[in-house]
Structure 1
Amino acid sequence: MDSNTIFNIHDEASFETVTFQTFQHQFENNQTYRSFCDLLYIHPSDITKIEDIPFLPIQFFKSHEIVSNKHSIQETFTSSGTTGSTTSKHHVTDISIYEKSYRKGFEYFYGNIENYVVLALLPNYLERKGSSLVYMANDLIKRSKQSESGFYLHDLKELTTKLIQLDQQGKKVLLIGVSFALLDLIETTQFQLKNTIIMETGGMKGRRKEMIRTELHQQLCEGFGVAEIHSEYGMTELLSQGYSKGNGIFKTPPWMKLFTRDPEDALTIQPNQKSGGINVIDLANINSCAFIATQDLGKIHHNGTFEILGRFDHSDIRGCNLMVY
């Protein structure tokens, strides 16, 4: 399939057409996904609507090689995981598709990256190899073409000075950071930012106690002196991201769509407004698997926006663990 088709999707009809093509391609070329479909006795001829397509449990990225072609692997992204745990591996055979996805996705929601100074506060991600978030942030920093853009590991003092200086100069700043590091930053300084977007990527990574989103965002709003906290919804197993510009309400680019499944019956897709397990169609995953049942709990609204409400526990996705481990 031509990846340009994915990024030219402009309406529901074109999304469905490309989705059916992608399912057919992955059914025929992804050995793990084909085996999963076979165990469910589902064949492309059985599929009449996109909700009927099987969603592969995300744990398969820990236990199987999820690829849909025979091309050489250009990049392998890995999840952070806890010490001693099995990490997910997303093998990418065409890195240009990932680059196109996050570049077009960012532009779709925020405009030209060259309009921003990009500051990245991602200490735990920078301290390991294989982070898709660091890959994206590094590329956005370079493409911003702003000399002040860059990563900050532990030098919060330098970041504070830079942030205040840039904001006072009236420059548009995007500060993208992991939750615990953003909290560390506001404990050192009380900011009053007027031209800066604060974007959290989630995760305390064992550095702080977990917090519900409203509590986290309230603290960050007060600490940075801003009205809203933006968020990015992404993961190792996806090559696209959803974005929230406030209140935890996310939107997806046109080549990405979310559903919720029944928590008690993993193969049943629920109507909108009901909370359940998040299933993702990410058509940028053309060379791995575009249909993923995540371990996130959420709700889809009638206009296609969504909220993330939490995560399932370690019991895995009930009724859908036919091949895992």
Structure 2
Amino acid sequence: MSSRPTIDVRTLFAVRGESEFEEAALNVFRFQAACCAPYATYLDLLGVAPDEVRHIGDIPFLPVELFKTHRVYCGPGEPQKVFTSSSTTGQTPARHFVADLSIYEEAFTRAFEMFYGRPEDVSVFALLPSYLEREGSSLIYMADRLIRQGRGGGFYLHDHERLLHDLRACPGPKILLGVSYALWDLAETHPGALPDTVVMETGGMKGRRREMPREAFHAMLGEAFGVQAIHSEYGMAELMSQAYSSGRGLFRTPPWMRVLTRDLHDPFAPAAPGRPGGVNIVDLANLYSCSFLQTQDLGTVYEDGSFRIHGRISGSEIRGCNLLVQE
């Protein structure tokens, strides 16, 4: 019996540039093609021989829906944690089996530092009621660790008065991280300037509010809170990494993550540059699940690697982490 291949996850976080990323992605692909049973079966059904894949553009992306029906896992032992997606009534949540929580912690800490500086220098105030009210949220795990590392902040379920009092009393840079409908509620009931504060939405109306084009939603929040730009976080339970937007809905990824788009009529063909398509994600930090995911989000990727999310592909399930529909 051949020995199980191994990859040092530290080398994945150290990738820089396209050539290093492609080499790392191909190594991870071969590892997961050998060790992740659902992905290996998917490749076999497609007639793809892993040894013949020479370029990142030839790597098939696993439909993210399989995280609902299969154990997409290739860790060296039993998982330390199972993250689950939010879901509406009657839907099956996705399950992400996490072999090593330190990998997730390194991924979100490194990405946060890249975009916002050291967690030790920032206070995070989390307004995430729908996530706090269920088990298994990767977003809550991330926010909790960032709060613990930071200078202050905390979780606020529905106590808007205490949130705003603590937020305004806290010195230094702050982030107000909120699910979209909760930020809307706060803007309506308690408008007022939030000095030295980054307002960041994570998407998700979850049927609590009518959908609104992103630009209009951000303009409303910006006016209510006296900030020039609304930041956004793009992530999901099936990913270990997150992308961030510092305004106008334009997201950027950390170096070990890429977003690509596929043709809406041919899931195995890339979308034309600068044209909307189905979103595919490469997340090398997903080492022990699957790093190559085909989502049901609709997006546009630009030449510099930045991207926008326009909503869900028509006819796909509405997910709890769905971003706002943009006209």
TM-score (norm 1): 0.93
Which has the larger displacement, 178-187 or 125-134?
Answer: 178-187
Corresponding residue for 2:207? Answer: 206
Question: Structure 1 CA distance, aligned partners of 2:119 and 2:208?
Answer: 31
Corresponding residue for 1:303? Answer: 304
- Counting only pairs closer than 5 Å after superposition, residues 84-103 of structure 1 correspond to structure 2 as 84-103=90-109
Letter aligned with residue 118 of structure 1: V
Contact 2:177 2:199 in 1 (8 A): yes
Letter aligned with residue 38 of structure 1: D
- Kindly provide the CA deviation profile for residues 112-143 of structure 1, in whole angstroms up to 9, marking residues without a partner as x: 11111110000000000000000000000001
Corresponding residue for 1:189? Answer: 190
SS at match of 2:267: strand
Letter aligned with residue 137 of structure 1: A
Contact 2:168 2:195 in 1 (8 A): no
Q: 2:164 aligned to 156, 160, 163, which one?
A: 160
- Shift in Å at residue 192 of structure 1? 1.6
Question: Structure 1 CA distance, aligned partners of 2:316 and 2:294?
Answer: 14
SS at match of 1:266: coil
Q: Work out whether 1:227 is the aligned partner of 2:228.
A: yes
- Counting only pairs closer than 5 Å after superposition, residues 1-325 of structure 1 correspond to structure 2 as 1-144=7-150, 146=151, 148-166=152-170, 169=171, 171-315=172-316
Which has the larger displacement, 10-19 or 224-233?
Answer: 10-19
Contact 2:153 2:166 in 1 (8 A): no
Letter aligned with residue 89 of structure 2: T
- Kindly provide the CA deviation profile for residues 78-105 of structure 1, in whole angstroms up to 9, marking residues without a partner as x: 0110012111000001111101000001
SS at match of 1:268: coil
Corresponding residue for 1:319? Answer: none
Contact 2:122 2:175 in 1 (8 A): yes
- Shift in Å at residue 315 of structure 1? 4.7
Question: Structure 2 CA distance, aligned partners of 1:86 and 1:71?
Answer: 25
Question: Structure 1 CA distance, aligned partners of 2:214 and 2:17?
Answer: 31
- Shift in Å at residue 151 of structure 1? 0.3
**Cα RMSD (Å) of the superposition?**
1.1
Unaligned runs of 5+ in 2: 1-6, 318-327
Question: Structure 1 CA distance, aligned partners of 2:267 and 2:308?
Answer: 19
Question: Structure 2 CA distance, aligned partners of 1:249 and 1:306?
Answer: 6
- In percent, how many aligned pairs have the same letter? 48
- Shift in Å at residue 149 of structure 1? 1.4
Which has the larger displacement, 66-75 or 13-22?
Answer: 66-75
Contact 2:123 2:153 in 1 (8 A): yes
Question: Structure 2 CA distance, aligned partners of 1:98 and 1:141?
Answer: 16
- Kindly provide the CA deviation profile for residues 49-70 of structure 1, in whole angstroms up to 9, marking residues without a partner as x: 1011000001000111101234
Contact 2:252 2:305 in 1 (8 A): yes
- Shift in Å at residue 250 of structure 1? 0.3
- Shift in Å at residue 188 of structure 1? 1.8
Letter aligned with residue 180 of structure 1: Y
Against the structure 1 CA distance between its residues 160 and 68, is the aligned structure 2 distance closer, same or farther, given a 3 Å change threshold?
same
Question: Structure 1 CA distance, aligned partners of 2:205 and 2:162?
Answer: 22
SS at match of 2:233: strand
Question: Structure 1 CA distance, aligned partners of 2:94 and 2:294?
Answer: 14
SS at match of 2:281: strand
Corresponding residue for 2:322? Answer: none
- Shift in Å at residue 271 of structure 1? 3.5
- Shift in Å at residue 72 of structure 1? 0.6
- Kindly provide the CA deviation profile for residues 228-263 of structure 1, in whole angstroms up to 9, marking residues without a partner as x: 000000000000000000000000000000110001
Runs of 4+ in 1 over 4 A off after TM superposition: none
- Shift in Å at residue 176 of structure 1? 0.4
- Shift in Å at residue 215 of structure 1? 1.4
- Kindly provide the CA deviation profile for residues 11-53 of structure 1, in whole angstroms up to 9, marking residues without a partner as x: 1111111100000000000110001001111112322210110
SS at match of 1:106: helix
Question: Structure 2 CA distance, aligned partners of 1:229 and 1:116?
Answer: 17
